[in-house]
Chain A
Amino acid sequence: MKLLGITSCPNGIAHTYMAAESLRKGAEELGVKIKVETQGSIGVENEFTADEIREADGIIIAADKAVEKSRFVGKKVLVTGVQDGIHKAQELIRRFETGDVPEYKGDMKSINEVKQERKDKQNPFYRHLMNGVSYMIPFVAVGGLLIALSLAIGGHPTDSGLQIPKDSVWKQIMDVGSAGFTFMVPILAGFIAMSIADRPGLAPGMIGGYIAANGSFYGSEAGAGFLGGILAGFVAGYIAKWIKSWSVPRVIQPIMPILVIPLLASIVVASLFIFVVGAPIASLMDWLTAFLNGMQGASSIILALILGAMISFDMGGPVNKVAFLFGASMIGQGNVHIMGAIAAAICVPPLGMGLATLLNKKKYEKAEQEAGKAALAMGLVGITEGAIPFAAKDPLRVIPSIMAGSMVASTIAMLGHVGNNVPHGGPIVAVLGAISHPLMYFIGIVAGVFVTALLVNTVKKNVA
């Protein structure tokens, strides 16, 4: 056991040090480690460090003078007179061994309590979303930055997008980044579910998120993206919470949280995607593809608007995929302008959100500001996913803003006859020389980025 002691007395001449000595002796006899801070007339001696306070099992305050206790919020604190320190040192120490000491709550609320209160006031839907997003952000950042770096340095423009030679070290770095991205949606879904149902929600949430992100489970070319992940997280979480409320025989109770709840909730969420959501997603993709093919004869401006909106709507989800694959297939048919418009739209969400965090820090939490910087890097190499943390946390404000920005960018690119013969987006394709009319390409991107940033900062509220 490790204890801390504070001794203090009115004049700070004698008792302070007697009590300190007595505590040290008492602790030594009981085989307990103690460090005693003396607050006497010499001043504070032997002052605790933050680490020592953190590691301590408890604090004895033997003082006849007010001692500042705010350092000890959340620790076991025994407050008594300096005489007890002198005479009852061993007794005081033993009270920590018997667990007979209350935790100091503090006159002021601790940071955690304030956070908890703030959470309780929030709409539960946002609270669960935020929990998922906060755990997802590092995965997006790690994955996105590694992919961005490897594409920027090791990527070569080809007909099938930016490719990295297989024998290049950048290929391995890219794969590490992809591993990070693979966890993105499962982590999002898992921690949404955990926020709802506590630990039993984590497994069904993550499994559900993985299924949502992988279309192969339900015969779809693309997964349901982060929006599907959010759905999976909420479904898994509420199912798990509901099963938790069942009254079950005592013998089964211990295995409920580790086996029964995760198993049943996983089956439900998996069935939901495989039998209910999966088929509509696949048919939605077919329908959208047919729709876009039918649009070819129509005004290219309208097509650009639609494609820009689709690219940003779910960033890597089915709608985005349809638009992207449509653009890629058009390159094969000799029409490089569609991909030009898409390439400009692709980088707007991450660049726009990154710029938004720089323009107004008050509207973004610390973690979001960091995610904003990562998003900027991802945007430069055309990784739309950089904006997902923002969209997942506040979909109703962020998604329309990024869609508007992408629509502006794709339209300007289309009007400027920007061509792109590499199915990839962002400034990097221009740098690599795959873009015709790069000036208009950049004007489109910059305009779209500013539209997104200004719009989202207008509709977003300040964080509390």
Chain B
Amino acid sequence: MIEFDLDQSDVRELNAALHNSDIAKNQSKWKVRNTKGRHAIAVGIDETLEMLIDGHVGYYCAGMNKHANITVNGHCGPGVAENMMSGTVRIKGNASQYAGATAHGGLLVIEGDASSRCGISMKGVDIVVKGNVGHMSAFMAQKGCLVVCGDAGDALGDSLYEARLYVRGKVASLGADCIEKPMKLEHKAELKELLKQANLSDINVDEFHRYGSARTLYNFNIDNVGAY
């Protein structure tokens, strides 16, 4: 176990150690204390390791994560796990704006609520939120799944591409080109697996609705030609 106390050393030292493959390859367990809302904690990890971040974190925690399993025992500021490639990021508290933005892969679990723009432009990550998500979530989401066990705010899935959205509670409103679609067996199976990975197997998949793209914004509409 390697432990960093951010009252004693700064975030640059922590991230430099994580990026030094001689250190990171030989240390499978990491712990960070006294985070106090600092920014860019545990960013750019490219190793299979376990990381416990004990406390609230600021902007961009666990950004660009590859391979690592990161747990944040607290709340997160904006942009947690943005551009994640693989691995797992688990937030025990709430997440601020644009959690999992543009992330390509891996699993992001938020055990509290996520605020606005959760999963904006997601490109393959799976995001499971135990609570609610704010407005404009999954805006322009391209690939992957956003699972919301609570309610979703306004304009869910606006200008959506091929990401799949599963919401258990109420949706305040759907964004442009986002529609409800039937929950087929394959979707229930996919959702069940995601809930299992998020340690939320006790939640019944039959309570969810599925939303996806109507695909009407994909191509140029010839009826609009006169406008150019």
Q: Do A and B bind each other?
A: no
Q: Which residues of B contact A (CB under 8 A)?
A: none
